[in-house]
Structures are given as C-alpha cells and as structure tokens.
Structure 1
Amino acid sequence: HFFLPFIVIEYFVVTAWTNPNDFAALLALKSTWNNVPPNWSGSDPCGSGWDGISCINNRVVSITLASINLNGQLSSDITALSELQILDLSYNPGMTGPLPTTIGNLVKLTSLILVGCGFSGVIPSSIGSLQQLVYLSLNSNNFIGEIPPSVGMLSNLYWLDLADNKLSGSIPVSSGSIPGLDMLANTKHFHFGNNQLSGQIPPSLFSSNLSLIHLLLENNRLTGTIPSTLGLVQSLQVLRLDRNSLSGSVPLNFNNLTSLQELCVDSCTQCHCRYLANNMLNGPLPNLSGMNLLNYVDMSNNSFQAANFPSWFSSLQILTTIVMENTYVQGQLNASLFSLYQLQSVNLKNNNISAQLDIGSTQSSQLRLIDLQNNSIRSFVQRGVYSVDI
C-alpha cells in the first residue's frame, strides 16, 4: 500500500512524456525556424502543451502554426514525425525554400496546408505517396515546374489548390501506367488559376465519374477548345476559364451543367466576374436553358455569332446579374426579363439592341441598374417612377 502512490505518479509521468523521436524532430525544426511560439521550451511538447502542437498517445499528430510570422525552411526533419496527420504553416511568407523530397514519407498526413507562404522549387513527385491526404493546399507560393502526375494517386483527396504559383506545362492526365488528375474521382475542388499552365484542356480530364464542384483554370496559357466532355461533370457549380487563349465554340452540351451557379464568358479585364473571360470564343451564343441555379451570367467580349437576345434568360428564375457587353446580341428585349424576382443588374452595353425599350411595370424590386449604352434603342416607354438606374 505504501508504494501505490509512487507507482501511480510514475505511470503519469511516462504517459505525458513525448515520444523521443518526435521531440528530436521538433527540436530540429525549431533550430531552423525563427519566431516559434514562446512556450516552445522544455523537453515535453505533448505534456506541457506547446502552442500549435497536438498529440495523441504521446505522438505528435498535428502542427498548426498559421499566421505567426514564422520564418525559415521546411527541412527533411519533418518526416521523422511518422504519426503526423496535419501540417498547417499557412500565411507565413517567411517560410521559404523547397519542400523536402522526403515529404512523401508522412504517409498518415491528411492535411498539407501551406497557403500564402514563400515556398519555391518544384512540387515533389513523392507527394503522390500521401495516400491519406484529404486537403492539399499549396496555393499562393512560388512553386515552379509541372503539376506532378503522381497527384492522381491521391484517391482520398477532397481539396486540391495549386493556384497563384508559377506552375507550367500541361494538365496531367493518366496514360497507361502513368497517373493523372482524371483519376481523382472523389475530389471536389481543382483550383489551378493564376499559373502558367499551357496546352489544351485534355478531354480525358473529364468524365461522369468525377464529382468536381469547382474547376478554376483562370489566368493561364491554355489554348484550344473547351472539351465537350466537360458537360459530363454535372456536379460542377463554379467554372473559371477566363484569361486564357481558348478558341472555338462553347460545346452544345454545356447546358447539361445544371448545377452551375455562375457563368461568365466575358473577356473584359475590368469586370467583376470573368469566368470564361479573355478568350477567343466564337460560334453560337451558348444555350443556357435548364441551368436553373445560375445567378450570375457574363458572356461579354467574345466573338459569338450575331443573334437575338435569348428568350431563355427569362426562365432563369434566380438570376441576379446579366452582363453581355460586346456579344453581338440584337433585337428587342422582352419586358418579362426585368420581372425576374432576384434580378439586380443588366448590362448590355455595345450591342445592337433595337426597337422600343419597355421594362414593364412589374420589374424586380431588387433591380438597380440597366445599362444599354451604345445600342440602337429608338424610344423608352415610361411606366411611372422607377427605382432603377437606366
């Protein structure tokens, strides 16, 4: 009985003691980083609760040190943390240099979040070994080179964000034994905007097996046409292809994307929404009938064939904004367009809208702007006092 308290105390100390290999790894990382949290001292990070460090059964499972002005590099010492599940060093622009090629050894990692740092070099192909990864956010860094095809091996990936880097080359798709992004059937987000990606958008990137909701490819160097296979991804909600060099017509099956909420095919660099902007799209104006979740449509500044303003606009019941500058639309506007319940803004500048303008007497109470500058309107039917700028 006299020894029982001693035994209990000894057991407590043992359970609180950080795994020595993990402690050594943290000390090595600390030696290469500046501005670590002030309480990073002592020999028991798990027991004494080092800021940003989480442990399970004395093993370090999470390092979360976002926005603390951390400086330094991510050395290969990180890979000694064999139980690590979360690594988040986001918004520390002083974290620079390349990622260690051994990062693929962190096989239990579920989240690798390095947003808004200063990392550079190529993305290691070993990243494809992180089979448990759910979130991969490397956006807003200085990475160069190609997107590693091995990313296609990350079958559990939900979020893939490589935007705002200096990545180049083509979008990788599988071929034989070589993996590609088309294999990521469970991924919801492809964010690749503001890079230097080139070549065509591969038709084989898309299939009905994908569950993408965001496909963001804006401000790259992509060429060729929009593949018709894109119409197979009916889960898609946001599509950005603006500021590329795409050409040809919009696929006829585009209105299969019935979950799409915002569509912009404008080439105006100053516009609020430019989701297919700055391209050289031509052919018929896309038919968006049936895309009933659309709330923002911008098809400005492309070279579509001249056509009457589409009547199907009046069927898109939750539209808030229509922007169709320089789209060669013509003819008369139906008053029913302006009675869409949530409509706030209509911009049809620099077209050939003609005849008499009548916005009716039941226009949306949210309507604030109708811009028809540089058209061929002959007259305007005034029906009382309007709360809208015309």
Structure 2
Amino acid sequence: MESNMVFLDVDQKNMSGKIPTSLGVLSSLEILKLNNNNFGGEIRDALQNCSNLRSIYLGDNKLSGKMPLWIGRSNVPMLSVLRLRSNYFSGHISQQLCNLDGLHILDLSNNSISGAILSKKEKAKIYIHNYGGYAYNSFEHSDNIFEHAKLTLKGEELVYNTTLYLVKIIDLSSNNLQGEIPEEISNLIFLGTLNLSMNQLSGKIPSKVGNLHWLKTLDLSYNHLLG
C-alpha cells in the first residue's frame, strides 16, 4: 500500500480475517471504509497512527471487543464520522469520544455495548461538545475525493454525498445501555437524529429535549422510560 493513500474503500468485498496492522503505515489516510465485510477480532491499535483520519466505517462486520481508548484521544483529532454499527462490540461507550470536537455522525447501533450513556464525570463534557462539526463547504477531502455514505433515517436508506457534512446523528440503538437519558444531551443543539431505541434505559425523558430545535427524528422506543 502507498503510504500517501487518502481514501481506502473495500466496502462489500466479502473480505474476512483481522484488520491488517499494515494499515497503520497509511499516515495520510483520511477515509477508511471496511464496512459490509466479514472482518473479525478487535480494532487494531495500529490505526491510531493514521492521525489524519476523518471518517471510519467499520459497520456490518464481525468485530468484537471493547472500543479502543485511542479513538477520541489526540491520535485522530479530526474524526468526524464514526460508524461501528452491527458488530459484536461490548463494554462501555468510550468517554474519550467527548474530546472529538468535529464528530457529527456517531453510529454504534446493534452491538452489545452496556453501561450508562455518560459517566458522572463526563456529564459536563457532553458528547461532541457543540456538535457543529468542522465548517466544511462540502465533504471534500484531499485530492478532490468526495465522501458518500448510506444512512438509515426514519426507516429509509438514503445516500448522502456533498450534503453529508450537514447530517448530525447519534444512533446508539439496539444495545444494552442502562440508566437515565442524560439531560446534558439537550446541549447538542444542532442534532438532527437521536436514536436510543431498544436498550434498557429508565427514568424520565428529559424535558429539555424540546430545546433541540433541529431535531427531525427522535426514537426512544423499547426502553423502560417513565412519565
């Protein structure tokens, strides 16, 4: 592989085995799309060497283990898209995600993630801060590469390309999350989609959710919520 590679896309190539550690030498890599394959094992720590990563697509594989702590540290400071849906990840949501100022698509749905959405010490640092993302005019990366992604919104699969940067999503559905929905989630004023369905959440729905004026889709079904 060329070390100056910017875009690696092997979506739906029926690939298996573990994610190659050799990807760690791709220091210029910005978009990594390994989704819809049969990759197994854990996410390799070697990927933290790809410090220019803006988008990680590892959904619909057979990956397992806990979310690496390096995601959210200074290793990948420009990360804006993180899609790990439909795997076998366990453990708690990495609180390091709170450090990603530009993250605007977070999809951890359909895994086995447990625990609270936010730990007590992180409630003052609600996910993705202002959730505004970087001020891209388009989702253009180096070498004039345009990113596109298929996203499921309101039960319908849609393809986004030049407008992908406008999409603001948190999808934590179909996991084993427990506890209350943190009131601090109302600070994500630009959030467009919030899906917390099919978990073990309890307590009352925060009244300040009404402050999310850009919210188009809210799904809290199949939990143990009151009020």
TM-score norm. by structure 2 comes to 0.76
User: Secondary structure at the residue paired with 1:259?
Assistant: coil
Task: Point out where structure 1 has 5 or more consecutive residues left out of the alignment.
Answer: 1-126, 174-179, 262-270, 332-390
Aligned runs of 1:226-241 on 2, under 5 Å? 226-241=93-108
| Mapped partners of 1:150, 1:230: distance in 2 | 25
1:167 corresponds, among 39, 43, 65, to 39
The match for 1:282 is 178
Percent of pairs with identical residues:
29
1:316 offset after TM fit, Å?
1.1
| 1:40-64 superposed Cα distances (whole Å, 9 cap, x missing partner) | xxxxxxxxxxxxxxxxxxxxxxxxx
| 1:247-305 superposed Cα distances (whole Å, 9 cap, x missing partner) | 111124362313268xxxxxxxxx72882222111122133122111011121221113
1:227 offset after TM fit, Å?
1.2
| Mapped partners of 1:153, 1:311: distance in 2 | 47
**Segments of 4+ in structure 1 off by > 3 A?**
none
User: Secondary structure at the residue paired with 2:22?
Assistant: helix
| Mapped partners of 1:321, 1:242: distance in 2 | 15
8 Å CA contact 1:191, 1:216 repeated in 2: yes
| Mapped partners of 2:69, 2:216: distance in 1 | 32
The match for 2:193 is 296
| Mapped partners of 2:173, 2:18: distance in 1 | 24
Task: Point out where structure 2 has 5 or more consecutive residues left out of the alignment.
Answer: 134-153, 157-169
The match for 2:127 is 256
1:320 offset after TM fit, Å?
1.3
User: Secondary structure at the residue paired with 1:289?
Assistant: helix
User: Secondary structure at the residue paired with 1:222?
Assistant: strand
1:191 corresponds, among 57, 61, 64, to 57
| Mapped partners of 2:10, 2:4: distance in 1 | 17
8 Å CA contact 2:179, 2:203 repeated in 1: no
The match for 1:143 is 15
| Mapped partners of 1:316, 1:275: distance in 2 | 16
Aligned runs of 1:1-390 on 2, under 5 Å? 127=1, 130-173=2-45, 180-209=46-75, 210-252=77-119, 253=122, 255-257=126-128, 258-259=130-131, 272=155, 275-286=171-182, 287-307=184-204, 309-331=205-227
- Number of aligned positions between the proteins: 188
One-letter code aligned to 2:191 = L
| Mapped partners of 1:296, 1:325: distance in 2 | 14
Distance 1:137 1:223, change over 3 A: same
Of structures 1 and 2, the one with the larger relative CO (CA 8 A, separation 6+) is 2
Distance 1:330 1:226, change over 3 A: same
TM-score norm. by structure 1 comes to 0.45
